[in-house]
Structure 1
Amino acid sequence: MGKLRFASLGSGSKGNATLVSDDETMVLVDCGFGLRETERRLARLGLHPRQLDAVLVTHEHGDHLRGVGPLARRYAVPVYITPGTWLSGRLGEVPCRHWITPQSRFAVRSLVIDPFTVPHDAREPVQFRFESRGCHLGVLTDLGQPTDHVVEAFSGCDALILECNHDRYMLEVGPYPPRLKRRVGGNWGHLANVQAAALLQRLGLDRLQRIVCSHLSEHNNCPELVLETLTPLLDGDGSRLTIAAQDSGLDWQAIT
């Protein structure tokens, strides 16, 4: 069994998909891209959909779910999903479906996975913590606030993919209508940069080898603001910080 590693096919409001692998097992967390685009982005990393052991779904919003059904039907990839997300009716039939029970550990071959409930405006949303050979990766996007439950669930990770969705000022003065601004900035929406920073401080930074800033809003954020907010937490050393981009994603990152 190899080291735990991860990559992003792309992250943002137009589509999200994250690969997690320990070389023996490979799973895709969400698939918010159409089938052809997913195939293209996998090929960019030298991969084929048939190499996937499973797709894990966090929630039913289109930028996370759009390609799950087509991918599962075309390549018979098993889908792991909460009943609430399934009952949204947005997935369609899939050849092989497994239920996720929040707060109940499960495994996909060699990967051990803990699904945790998060505050987000979906039917039964979860985010995931992965473990393999003593290494821990947290995938934590699409939540409106860093609750005590979230802090407890994701403490002690070696790497973290963390939502940095918006800058509060850019959201306030940006082009979204007031209702959408309230949704995005509310307790059931998305994390602002300052919230991500506060969460990192509560989680502790000593063990974190990699912090991947993800799900940046196209209209309400920019990489420069994210790095400006988070880098001071690391004593000015930004080498542990990386951005998962919407178009280019992120190449493989290894956890030692």
Structure 2
Amino acid sequence: MRYCSLGSGSRGNATLIEYGTTRLLVDCGFSLRTTEKRLALAGLSAHQLTAILVTHEHSDHISGVERLAQRYRLPVYMTAGTRYGMGATDLPIHEIRFGQSFDIGEIRVTPVPVPHDAREPSQFIFDSGYHRLGLLTDTGTITPLITEMYSGLDALFLEANYDPHMLASGPYPRFLQARVGGALGHLSNQQAAGLLASIDTSSLQQIVIGHISEKNNRPELAHEALSGVLDGWDGRLQLAVQNQGLPWQEITETLQPITASIGSR
């Protein structure tokens, strides 16, 4: 399994996950033309995508979904709440439900409910049978379910959106500061670090820090906060940024399947 970011931040988000011939795009917060260009930089055409998954209806995650899906006839997966929040659409939507994993090609997808100021937001865990990759952004609070679900992963794409001191002294008005830093907002550097300190990281090969605010955080602050709780961890800690995203990252193959094969699960 491998994954990359086409861009991560408040001006647009899109993440690619690939295993075998299955290629999933999680969110598309860029214009059609920008998405096509960023896919080309990743060595892909949109014709090679299998499906689009949507985490929630905020514009930095869905602004390009409809045009991309229509142009390339891609199925789109989201919760019923996200579909409602997205508004009128002619797209063929596959509604997903919490507590029910589903297969797209060679990848099993598990939706995870998260606290965020959207209708029915979801994050995802991807399982190839040999690897498990977790995607966790746009989350205001770490719940017990999140701690349980994101333990024992092989790779984790994790939001560290803001530094509390920068947010409090930054350009955002008070109401927006309260929204970002609230229980339905985003994860701070310290909250992200707290999650890492509380989960099983024994099999975790890679951590990618994503959705870093350009106004309320700095990459070095996020990196310092998360690396501070990873003493003795021998994996790789990287950053996904707004303009360049993150190149393809390969998850090392394990010797035995971690679950039963896709066909028998």
Query: 1:114-148 CA deviation, whole Å, 9 max, x = no partner?
Result: 00110001000000000003210000000001110
The aligned counterpart of 2:123 is: 127
The aligned counterpart of 1:77 is: 74
* Change in 2 beyond 3 A, CA 1:113/1:164: same
Indicate if the aligned counterparts of 2:151 and 2:201 stay in contact, CA closer than 8 A.
Answer: no
Q: How many Å separate the matches in 2 of 1:208 and 1:240?
A: 9
Report the alpha carbon displacement of residue 239 of structure 1 after superposing the two structures with TM.
Answer: 5.8
The aligned counterpart of 1:243 is: 239
Q: How many Å separate the matches in 2 of 1:227 and 1:89?
A: 33
State the secondary structure of the residue aligned to 1:213. strand
The aligned counterpart of 1:231 is: 227
Q: How many Å separate the matches in 2 of 1:72 and 1:169?
A: 40
- Which of 5, 16, 30 matches 1:19? 16
Supply the RMSD in Å over aligned alpha carbons. Answer: 1.3
Does residue 219 (structure 1) correspond to residue 215 (structure 2)? The answer is yes
Query: 1:223-250 CA deviation, whole Å, 9 max, x = no partner?
Result: 1101111112222778611000100000
State the secondary structure of the residue aligned to 1:115. strand
Unaligned 5+ segments in structure 1 are: none
The aligned counterpart of 1:62 is: 59
State the secondary structure of the residue aligned to 1:12. coil
Q: Percent identity?
A: 52
* Change in 2 beyond 3 A, CA 1:179/1:231: same
- Which of 36, 41, 44 matches 2:33? 36
Residue-pair matches, total: 252
Q: How many Å separate the matches in 1 of 2:189 and 2:76?
A: 31
- Which of 166, 170, 175 matches 1:170? 166
Indicate if the aligned counterparts of 2:153 and 2:201 stay in contact, CA closer than 8 A.
Answer: no
Report the alpha carbon displacement of residue 88 of structure 1 after superposing the two structures with TM.
Answer: 1.4
Indicate if the aligned counterparts of 2:4 and 2:245 stay in contact, CA closer than 8 A.
Answer: yes
Report the alpha carbon displacement of residue 19 of structure 1 after superposing the two structures with TM.
Answer: 0.2
- Which of 190, 193, 199 matches 1:197? 193
State the secondary structure of the residue aligned to 1:47. coil
**What TM-score comes out, normalization by structure 1 length?**
0.95
Query: 1:121-180 CA deviation, whole Å, 9 max, x = no partner?
Result: 100000000000321000000000111011111111110000000000000000000000
Q: How many Å separate the matches in 1 of 2:97 and 2:197?
A: 29
